[in-house]
Structure 1
């Protein structure tokens, strides 16, 4: 016995709701894939291991001596200014851009940025304090977009010591428009001339 289907017949062909949104999604997906591939090329070219892969794999930014904070903890010294360029964002937070880790491929530029967190503000679910993060980003000079393809969190300032954990693309690899005054916007202005 055959069952009759009530209502409209099933059609395996999907209709397009908005051709523009489909092409934007396609471009974003292509950018995320290119950013992930570009990150692999960056790691192959720079001779560095991925952050957190092994102790000491992170680039060292300077000495670990420094001033004492109000809580009695030793504050790490600022990174080597010949290598790490300070970049000020709209929030007033200073990030540090690694000038030696810049990798170019066509209209894309791979960069590494370190940002210190405000003292004692951000914690993991297990209670560990996150004092800094290192982001690997891909800037697209043609579209003024960027994607964070990897972020590693650290319990020490200036991305020193053992990493707490690393988040890899594709979770983060979605391209975003770089706004004027943001770290990504400042880096695009500087590197995409």
Structure 2
């Protein structure tokens, strides 16, 4: 839907009963009303969370970078020429968590109280789980996702010389299954 189609004037015309029964049951119209990052005129906005109570929040995201078995073994044995892959990826993940508000336009800057990274090196991949905790007015799942995607990208960057084929391609290297696996919140007062 274009901005013009979503204008209040056009919405009023449709509501005035132009004889189109589909206009009364348009699922897109219902969805538009439920979007929290869009104002009445269709402009993107940051959600006002000022009146929300502070809550303790925790989110866990996870993803995987698929690699060739020799590369995964070299990570496990600390045999990558660039240095300690997992230590570098851990720093990258934490930095990404702390800077999410700078890269995701409508994210609030939130007080990060804890970040935990958990790497699992398998025979042909590395899985990364990032747990983020905060006490504030909005969640931290975007921060957890940013931590995972950046941590996995750092792994790729650290091992790209080992993963690259003779013609400079990465046929076996890919990042998959990035998702939020859990999120929790509880009021600061314990309720």
Q: Which structure dedicates a bigger proportion of its chain to helix? A: 2
Instruction: Point out which structure has higher relative CO (alpha carbons under 8 A, 6+ apart).
Output: 2
Q: Normalising by structure 2, what TM-score?
A: 0.30
Q: Normalising by structure 1, what TM-score?
A: 0.30
